[in-house]
Each structure stands twice: as C-alpha cells, then as structure tokens.
Amino acid sequence: MQDLKGITFDEYVILRQKDFPSAQGDLSKLLRDIALASKVINREVNKAGLVDILGMTGVRNVQGEEVQKLDEYANEQMIKYLKAGGQCCAMGSEEEEDFIIVTDEHAQEAHYVVLFDPLDGSSNIDVNASIGTIFSIYKRVSTGIPTIHDILQAGKHQVAAGYVIYGSSTMMVYTTGNGVNGFTLDPTIGEFCLSHPNIQTAANGKIYSINEGETNNWPQYVRDYVSYCKENVKDENRPYSHRYIGSMVADLHRNLIKGGIFIYPPTTKAPKGKLRLLYECNPMAFLVEQAGGKATDGLNRIMDIEPTELHQRVPVYIGSKNMVEKLEAFKAAE
C-alpha cells in the first residue's frame, strides 16, 4: 500500500471504500459518525478537570457500577451522533439496560447495528489515566423493526470494530477485516490522521497484564501461568514485565503495539469473568486477530461464542498469539 501516512481518517475510509465496488458508502459514513462522536467526547475528557464533569452521577448502571458523569456524557454523545448519522437501525450500549431501536424512518432502512462501551475504564477518569471508547459494527439480520437478534450476533460476524483511546494523544484504531490501522487526532485541524498503518502484534511479547490483587481468587492454571511469567529464564525473555492500568483500552493498546497478553480470568467474585462479550471482548478480539494475535475464553475463540444476553461476561485471554497459546496449554494441563 502506498505510503498514506498523514492521510485523514475520512479520506482513508473513502479511499478504502473504493476497494469494494459494491460498497454504497454507508459503512464509511457510519465510521465517520463514530469518529465525530469520539472527537466531541475527547473535548470533554481533555478538560474534565476544569468543568463540573468529574465525579459520580449518584446512579448505578445495569452492571451495578457507579456511573461517572463523563460515562453518561460519552453515552449520550454516541447515541446522539449514531442517531443523527442515520446509518444504524439499532444500537447496544454497555451503559444501557436494553438495546435501542432508532425510530427515525430513514434509520429503519439502515443496514447496520452498533454496539459500544462509550467510556471504558471510567474508574480512571478522575486520576487522569487513559480511557477509551470501544465500538463494534454488524450488519442487521432482521427486516422491518430491528430485533434482539440483530444485537446478539457472534463476534465473527462483525464488519468493523475499533476503539478510541483518550491518552497522551487521542487515537482511533480500527479494522474492517483487512488489517488494523491507527489514526492520531491532530488537534490543530480536528482530524484523525494515519499514524500507525497496518498494525501487527508480535507473536511473543514480554508484558503480561492482569489484576494481581485477585491472585488468590484465580483458577490454579492462571496462577501457574503467572508464576511462569515471573520465572528467571533469560533466553526466553522471562521474567516478563507486569503492566496493568485497569483500563482495558489502555492495556490492550499498549500490548497491541509492544506485544503482550491481557488476562481477565474467572474469579470468585466474577465466576464468568468481568469483561463484557459484546461491548469489550468481541471488538478487541476482532482487532487483535486482524493484527495477528489471538483471543479466547480459555476454551473457545472469543469471536465464535454465540451470545445469549446483552451484558454477558466472559473470561478473556487476548494478545500475542504464542502467549495466549501458552496460557491455553496451562489450562489444558490442569
């Protein structure tokens, strides 16, 4: 691919659309709608300490988690711009108990549904650690009024997925199934510009990410694998480094670029794992697989799991292929 570094996200999406003669441009428009919503969210995230948008709303979401004001704001913006863009007929949000049917008449003819976590890692908002928006796009399967079946699709049916990380810079990383590309927001022009073309994740990494505070609540095979990560075996680059921010987007983005494995196993508190299949695990699995990595629940490929409920949680082992397979080997040997 010619050197497209610096091309804007909008130009890139339109350019790649030409690779698909049958494309009508709807997906391109939808991706641009998501990018626009993320720029508005970014504006508030970047000044959160200066305006009354930090802290809690005093409300708990469907997950039972306290909703931060910025969570609520990000959720509202995603819903607003997706509705306004007219390219999706229904959407699911980690912050919404049920899925949302877009009642606008034009939207009923839209081909896509969007699932999103509007602001992942929100416990980090008030301490200025990186957070992010995660999204996943599917073609609708119903005709007429959208149904839950449009939303409860296996991750392998995603047509696009990505995240926006609000960190030292703001980046959009996405895939439509033809590789992974990263775009950095240039605030001087308000555009995401291609900065990380064709991201590939190393088969072997030196970073493992897991909440070590839960060590006593992990299954034995996870404890065995983490002990393996800590062993002194110089020619195998062990001990690995432990890096854990507590924000999936930030931990996954670092591991995608540098190589590594992210683990959220079953724990006694979260026997099915904590992370949500639809809003976190499927989009991240699509990206990581497209970058050459792997994503499983310990037994099954994440993207093969048939969802049964909107807020379903799964264990997730995701990242550098050989590291994920090593953990799977520990599980198989248990």
Closest approach of Cβ 213 to ligand P6P, in Å?
A: 7
In the chain, where do the E strands start and end?
56-60, 66-68, 88-93, 100-101, 112-120, 131-139, 158-166, 170-175, 180-186, 191-196, 207-209, 241-242, 261-264, 294-296, 316-319
Q: Does 71 bind ligand P6P (CB under 6 A)?
A: no
Q: Does 121 bind ligand P6P (CB under 6 A)?
A: yes
What SS3 state is found at 9? helix
Q: Does 255 bind ligand P6P (CB under 6 A)?
A: no
- DSSP tag of 59: E
Q: Does 63 bind ligand P6P (CB under 6 A)?
A: no
Stretch that binds ligand P6P, among 96-104, 166-174, 181-189, 243-251 (CB under 6 A): 243-251
Measured distance CA(246)–CA(86) in Å, rounded? 34
Contact assessment for residue 37 and residue 91, using Cβ atoms and an 8 Å cutoff = no
Q: Does 16 bind ligand P6P (CB under 6 A)?
A: no
* Contact residue for ligand P6P among 248, 278, 291, 310 (CB under 6 A): 248
Measured distance CA(262)–CA(251) in Å, rounded? 7
Count of CB atoms within 10 A of residue 128's CB? 11
Q: Does 256 bind ligand P6P (CB under 6 A)?
A: no
Q: Does 39 bind ligand P6P (CB under 6 A)?
A: no
Subset of 263-282 contacting ligand P6P (CB under 6 A): 274-275
Q: Does 254 bind ligand P6P (CB under 6 A)?
A: no
- Preceding amide of 187 cis, omega within 30: no
What SS3 state is found at 188? coil
Give 102 or 131: the residue with its C-beta nearer to ligand P6P.
131
Closest approach of Cβ 210 to ligand P6P, in Å?
A: 8
- DSSP tag of 110: -
Give 212 or 236: the residue with its C-beta nearer to ligand P6P.
212
Q: Does 142 bind ligand P6P (CB under 6 A)?
A: no
Give 276 or 321: the residue with its C-beta nearer to ligand P6P.
276
* Contact residue for ligand P6P among 72, 120, 150, 297 (CB under 6 A): 120
HSE of 300 in the Cβ direction (CA atoms, 13 Å)?
Answer: 14
Which residues are near ligand P6P by CB under 6 A?
120-121, 123, 211, 246-248, 251, 274-275
